[in-house]
Structure formats: structure tokens, C-alpha cells
Amino acid sequence: MKPYAVLFLLGLVALLVMPAHAQVTTPDRSDAPVRVAFINPGYGDRGFWKDVRGTMQAAADQFGYELIVFDSDRDSKMMIESAQRVFDLVPAPDYIIAVNEHQQGARIVLEAAERDIPVIMLLNDLTQEQKDAHGYPVKDFANWILTLTPDNERAGYDIAKSLIDGARLENEYQHRKPLCLLSIAGDSKTPASLQRLQGLDHALSRFPLLREQNRLVANWSYDEAFRQTQSWLKRDGCVDAGWAANDDIALGAIAALEEAGRRPGKDVFVGGLNWSPDGLRKVSGGEMTMTHGGHFFAGAWVMVLLHDYISGVETLYENPEISFRMEAITRENISYFVDVLGNRDWGSLDFKEFSIANSPPGTEYNFVLHPGDGQEE
């Protein structure tokens, strides 16, 4: 065999045995900044997804990345349009960050694979059914490089438990009698909503004091939560506690309860999630048992992971599915968070400190703002 033929065969063998993650082309790290496109399923100017976008932008600036965001206003059709606008970008982005809102994530992963663009799933991973049908990150899709999701199930459990704790702490309430629970979910498809409900179900099985009377779906909306709670109360529905999938839902329910003459924090107990400014005010005033969350910082955490991936942190190639625990803000610990969350100045935080690129092998990510977070079982 001629020498050039031997060299060709050796090169071909090297390509065939190359690990899956190495088949993803790392963008040229020359003078041009890394370009990241984010398909935002929510609003860019208000609410939870504004904070996700804000923390992501702050971290992108610190790492020197160019961030391009397409907002979708919680509209599934707009999400499809936003995804198409990303794929139409010239030049193509170096990385895409997507969310499996309304279970649109699979089509984004598949389209990105055809175009050989690395994609990261954020906050809402593909469902198990979608993974069974299409595959898993890295193992089945070399371009699906990472997934970052919060522990939504634990958060759903913590919210439910806080309702019992709130009733026990309030002297005016006879906490030994069962609590009539009104549960209000976000939607019936998004993984985060379904996982929070799994946490609620776990709490219901563990704490017989909670007696679920009705389970509603408010589509993450204050107005819808207000209308549905109002309708339930007009039918003389029993409510001693309200489990809400997010703060907007909790606030809408509280408004309906107050309209009916109820006293949140005194004769009815409501918990939510998102660390929203209004939610924090309600917690501070004792009208909500807690606002769980901090997961809008996933916008920043995903930039940290991307930086470390580009830097070659091996654990991300070996374990591409990363989960982090959310934190519960209550009246007991809210003072710690006031300075950071009060003005929403995300750029004042040094997100580079959360990178493990220069840490010893085996170091784990610690995406926690407060060491005393969480609820004990």
C-alpha cells in the first residue's frame, strides 16, 4: 500500500473513533465574539422571562459573548416564528439556547441538528416521551450539548408544605383540622408545570392534613387565576390554602380571596413561585407563605456552563444534563435577598465566580445564592 493511502486510512480511523462530543465544531475563538441566540418563550419586557433574559445578558456581557434574543410572548405560534428567525440568521449563531415550552423543543433540536448548530435546552427539558422518540443529548445528538433544569418537583413539594407550616404558625387558625386546598397549575403540557404538580402530589400523599378540593389550570396568568378562584368561591368552594404554580397565579388567587373578605396569611394560606417583586412584597407582608424560585438565574447559569463547555470542562461532556435546586424565600430569610432582588441589577453580580473551569477535577457546580436555602422535609 502506498504511503499516502496509509495516511488517509489512519485519518479516517481517527475520525470514526472520535468521541461524540468532539464531533461538534467549536466556533473559531478569534477576534469575533461567540454569538448565542436565545429563543425566549416569554415576554422580554416583564415577568419571569424578562429576568431570565436579564441575567443571561449580564452573564453574556461578563464572558464577552454576543447575545441575540427573540421574544415569543408566551405564544406557541410566536415561538415557532422565533425559532425560524434564529435559523435564518446570517451568519448562523454559534450556539442556540431553547426552552421546551409547549413541547416545541424537539423540533428545535432536530432542526439545529440538520444545520449542525450546537443547542442547549434551558429550564424545560424534553419530556421523557420526546426523548424516547428522538434521543438524548450527546449520546444521540452530538449537537445537543447541554441541558440545564431546576428541581421543579421539589419546589412543588415545598410550596405545599409551606401552607401547612403557615397554618401552624398562625394562632388564629385551628391547624389540627384538615386544610381545604385549591391547587392552580400553570398549564397542562410544559414540563415545569407537570413536574411541580408531581411535587404537589407527593406532598398530598405525605400530608393528609392537605385535602385537595379542586385543581385548576390558569395558563400562568394573574387574570385567569383571579377569575377561576373567584368562580370557585362563588360556588361556595372550600379554601383554606392555595397552591400556585407561580407568583402571578398566587397573586390573582389572593386578589379574589381578598375580594371575598378572606385574609391571606390569617385565615387562608397561599404559596407561589418566581421571586417576583410583587411576590416578595406579599411574603414580606405575611400574605404569602413563600415565593420559591431563583430559577430565572438559569439565564446566567447557562452562560457559565457554555463558557466552561468551550473551555473544555470534561464533566459537561460526560454528564450533559445538569439540574439545580431552587431556593425558597420566606419571611425568615427575605432580608438576605432584598439587596440583590430589590433593584434587579444583575450586572452587579460576578457570575464568573460560579465557573469551575479553573477548579480541580471533580468540582461540582454550586448555583446557590444563599447557603441556607430550601425547606427541610
Q: What is the DSSP string of 157-216?
A: HHHHHHHHHHHHH-TTS-TTSPEEEEEEES-SS-HHHHHHHHHHHHHHHH-TTEEEEEEE
pTM (2 d.p.): 0.84
Q: Locate cell 424545560: which residue?
A: 124
Point out which residues pair with 273 in neighbouring strands.
Answer: 292
- How does pLDDT run along the chain (377 residues), one tens digit per residue? 444 343 333 343 333 333 343 345 455 546 789 999 999 999 999 999 999 999 999 999 999 999 999 999 989 899 999 999 999 999 999 999 999 998 899 999 999 999 999 999 999 999 999 999 999 999 999 999 999 999 999 999 999 999 999 998 875 555 568 999 999 999 998 899 999 999 999 999 999 999 999 999 999 999 999 999 999 999 999 999 999 999 999 999 999 999 999 999 999 999 999 999 999 999 999 999 999 999 999 999 999 999 999 999 999 999 999 999 999 999 999 988 887 787 889 999 999 999 999 999 889 999 987 644 434 44
Residue 118 grid coordinates: 450546537
Classify domain 35-150+295-326+341-354 at the CATH topology level.
Rossmann fold (3.40.50)
Say whether 153-293 and 35-150+295-326+341-354 share the same fold: yes
Contact between residue 252 and residue 233 where contact means Cβ atoms under 8 Å apart: no
28 DSSP assignment? P
Supply the CATH classification number for the domain 153-293: 3.40.50.2300
Q: Which residues lie closer than 8 Å to 134 by C-beta, 6 or more apart?
A: 106, 109, 110, 126, 140, 141
Domains of the chain: which residue ranges?
Answer: 35-150+295-326+341-354, 153-293
CA atoms within 13 A on the CB side of 87: 18
C-alpha cell at 92: 448562523
